[in-house]
Structure 1
Amino acid sequence: MESNITTVNPATGKEIKSYDLMTEKEALEAVEKCHTAFTNWKATPTEDRVKIIKKIGEKLQEHKEDFAKLMTLEMGKIVKHGRQELDLCTGICDYTVASGVEELANEEKELQNGGKGIVTYSPLGVIYGIQPWNFPAYQVVRYSIVNLMAGNGILLKHAENVTGSALKLKEIYEEAGLPKDLFTVLLIDHDTSEKIMEQRLVRGVTFTGSAEVGRKIGEQAGKNLKKSVLELGSNDAYIVLEDADIPLAVKTSAIGRIFNNGETCVAAKRFIVVEAVYEEFKKGFVERMSKIKLGDPMDEDSQLGPMARKDLRDGIHKQVKESVEKGAEIYCGGEIPNRDGYYYPSTVLGNVKPGQPAYDDELFGPVASLIKAKDQDDAIRIANDSRFGLGGGIFSRDEEKAIELAQNQFDTGMVSINSFGLIQVDMPFGGVKDSGFGREHGGFGIKEFVNAKAINILN
Structure 2
Amino acid sequence: MRTEAISINPATGAEIARYPMLDGPALEQRVAAASVAFADWRTSDIKRRSQAFRRLADTLDARHETLARLITLEMGKPITAARAEVDKCAWLARWYADNLIDLLADETPDVGGDGQAVVSYRPLGVVLAVMPWNFPLWQVLRAAVPIMCAGNGFLLKHADNVQGSAWALAECFEAAGFPPGLFGVVHADRALVTGLLADPRIVGVTVTAGVTAGAALASEAGRHIKKSLLELGGSDPFIVLADADLDRAVAAAIDARFQNCGQVCIAAKRIIVAAPIMEAFVARFVEAARVIRIGDPLDPATDMGPMARVRARAELDDQVRRSVAMGARVLLGGEIPDGPGSYYPPTVLVGVTADMPVCAEETFGPVAAIMSAADAEDAVRIGNDSVFGLSAALWTADVEAGTRLALHIEAGAVFVNGMSASDPRVPIGGVKQSGYGRELSHFGLREFCNAQLRWVRP
Q: How many residues align?
A: 458
Conserved? CA contact 1:67–1:168, under 8 Å: yes
Conserved? CA contact 1:89–1:141, under 8 Å: yes
1:214 matched to 2:219? The reply is: no
Residues 6-405 of structure 1: matches in 2 within 5 Å? 6-111=6-111, 114-405=114-405
Q: Specify the SS of the correspondent of 1:16.
A: strand
- Partner of residue 426, structure 1: 425
Supply the distance in 2 between the matched residues of 1:352 and 1:216 (Cα, whole angstroms). Answer: 31
Conserved? CA contact 1:262–1:364, under 8 Å: yes
TM-score by length of 2: 0.98
CA distances 1:186-222 after superposition (whole Å, capped 9, x unpaired): 1211011111111110011100011121111111111
Supply the distance in 2 between the matched residues of 1:355 and 1:167 (Cα, whole angstroms). Answer: 41
Q: Which amino acid aligns with 1:260?
A: N
CA distances 1:121-173 after superposition (whole Å, capped 9, x unpaired): 11101011000000000011111111221111110000010000000001111
Q: Which amino acid aligns with 1:16?
A: I
Supply the distance in 1 between the matched residues of 2:398 and 2:9 (Cα, whole angstroms). Answer: 46
Q: Specify the SS of the correspondent of 2:372.
A: strand
1:438 matched to 2:447? The reply is: no
Supply the distance in 1 between the matched residues of 2:197 and 2:226 (Cα, whole angstroms). Answer: 8
Conserved? CA contact 1:99–1:443, under 8 Å: no
Q: Which runs of 4+ in 1 moved over 6 A?
A: none
Q: Specify the SS of the correspondent of 1:234.
A: coil
Q: Specify the SS of the correspondent of 1:306.
A: coil
Unaligned runs of 5+ in 1: none
TM-score by length of 1: 0.98
CA distances 1:381-410 after superposition (whole Å, capped 9, x unpaired): 00000110001101111111111111x211
- Residue 8 of structure 1, CA deviation: 0.5
Conserved? CA contact 2:266–2:420, under 8 Å: no
Q: Specify the SS of the correspondent of 1:107.
A: coil
Conserved? CA contact 2:393–2:420, under 8 Å: no
- Residue 259 of structure 1, CA deviation: 0.7
Conserved? CA contact 2:391–2:420, under 8 Å: no
Q: Specify the SS of the correspondent of 1:95.
A: helix
Supply the distance in 2 between the matched residues of 1:45 and 1:442 (Cα, whole angstroms). Answer: 20
- Residue 111 of structure 1, CA deviation: 2.0
- Partner of residue 412, structure 1: 411
Q: Specify the SS of the correspondent of 1:444.
A: helix
Q: Which amino acid aligns with 2:240?
A: V
- Residue 443 of structure 1, CA deviation: 1.2
CA distances 1:54-95 after superposition (whole Å, capped 9, x unpaired): 110111111111101101100111111111111111111121
Q: Which amino acid aligns with 2:403?
A: I
- Residue 108 of structure 1, CA deviation: 2.3
Deviates more, 1:98-107 or 1:18-27: 98-107
Conserved? CA contact 1:100–1:443, under 8 Å: no
Deviates more, 1:109-118 or 1:138-147: 109-118
- Residue 112 of structure 1, CA deviation: 5.1
Q: Which amino acid aligns with 1:386?
A: S
Q: Which amino acid aligns with 1:304?
A: M
- Residue 109 of structure 1, CA deviation: 3.1
CA distances 1:273-324 after superposition (whole Å, capped 9, x unpaired): 0111000001000111122111111111111111111100100000000000
Deviates more, 1:408-417 or 1:65-74: 408-417
Alignment RMSD (CA, Å): 1.0
Unaligned runs of 5+ in 2: none
Q: Specify the SS of the correspondent of 2:389.
A: coil
Q: Specify the SS of the correspondent of 1:109.
A: coil
Supply the distance in 1 between the matched residues of 2:188 and 2:196 (Cα, whole angstroms). Answer: 10
- Residue 21 of structure 1, CA deviation: 0.9
Q: Which amino acid aligns with 2:72?
A: T
Deviates more, 1:258-267 or 1:288-297: 288-297
